[in-house]
Amino acid sequence: MIHFVFLVAFCGAVGLVLAAILRRGIRRVLRLAAWITGGLVFSAVVLGWILYIFPL
């Protein structure tokens, strides 16, 4: 569980910084930050499941 918390915190920070650089206006910044954060978390979970079938 703590791994997922770290993942969400990391993705949220990255998303907020990128959105604040790319957009103007608090509402638009938050909207893009939510999209970036969600995309990163979703990608990480999907990639984790895909890699799960490959033994290392």
Partner 1 sequence: MRSNGWPRSSGNTRVDTVTEAPELEPLEDPSSDGETVDAFASSAEATPAEPPGGGMFYCLTATVLAWLIPGAGHAFVGQWRRAIVFGGLISGLFVGGLALDGRIYRIEEDDVLSYAASLGASGVGGFYVVGHALGYGDGDEQAAYHEYGSTFTLVAGLLNLLIILDAFDHALLRHHARRAKTPAAESL
Residues at the contact surface with partner 1, assessed by CB under 8 A: 6, 9-10, 13-14, 16-18, 20-21, 24-29
Q: How far is the CB of 43 from partner 1 (least distance, A)?
A: 15
Instruction: Tell me which residue of 1, 9, 11, 6 sits closest to 39, measured CA to CA.
Output: 11
**Residue 1 CA from chain centroid, whole number:** 16
Q: How far is the CB of 25 from partner 1 (least distance, A)?
A: 5
Residue keyed to tokens 């930050």:
33
Q: How far is the CB of 39 from partner 1 (least distance, A)?
A: 16
